[in-house]
Amino acid sequence: MGARCSTNMREAKHQDQKETGPTLMELVLQLHGDLRRSLEPVRVTPLQAGVLCYLHRHADARLGEAAAALRVQPPTLVEVVQDLVRKGWVTNRRSVKDRRAVCLRLSRQGEALARTIAQRVRHVEATLTEQDRGALGMTPQDRRA
């Protein structure tokens, strides 16, 4: 009888979930999967796409600033940026003001790719329900890649 009660409680929780929508964790994982699938044809990962879109909006960003904005550790971003430089999408150079700082900029090819990525992200965003947007804390102004 205990197992039956437990099953009924799980079913009741499952019923409630259907009515209230996915949890934040479920939504984030679904969104990550949707973004990954959307980006497969342009052969970039979600993190690479995030870096490219960030640099599209912040030319000559410092590596540390980009890492903080994207909430990744600087060593992780260094690896991603090295790959993007190798692919010819990003250039990096020492700051004229502070020789210790590395400034990042998109190449022409990187700019074109960032525009393509932004379009793909907007397509994924368009699939979000208002309930999903609310759960993610999005406002109408957040509709940008």
* Domain locations in the chain as residue ranges: 2-142
List pLDDT tens digits, range 38-75.
999 999 999 999 999 999 999 889 999 999 999 999 99
Which residues, in sequence order, are bridge partners of residue 94?
Answer: 102
Count other C-beta atoms under 10 Å from residue 103's C-beta: 19
pLDDT at 1 over 50: no
- Give the amino acid at 21: G
Q: What is the mean pLDDT of the chain?
A: 84
Protein fold of 2-142: Arc Repressor Mutant, subunit A (1.10.10)
Q: Can you give the pLDDT at residue 13?
A: 45
> pLDDT grade, residue 114 (50/70/90)?
very high
Segment 17-39 shows an average pLDDT of 84
pLDDT at 8 over 50: no
List pLDDT tens digits, range 90-109.
998 887 777 778 889 999 99
Q: Can you give the pLDDT at residue 144?
A: 52
Q: Can you give the pLDDT at residue 138?
A: 84
Residue 6, Cβ density class (10 Å: 0-12 exposed, 13-18 middle, ≥19 buried): exposed
Which structure tokens are listed for 33? Answer: 């999967």
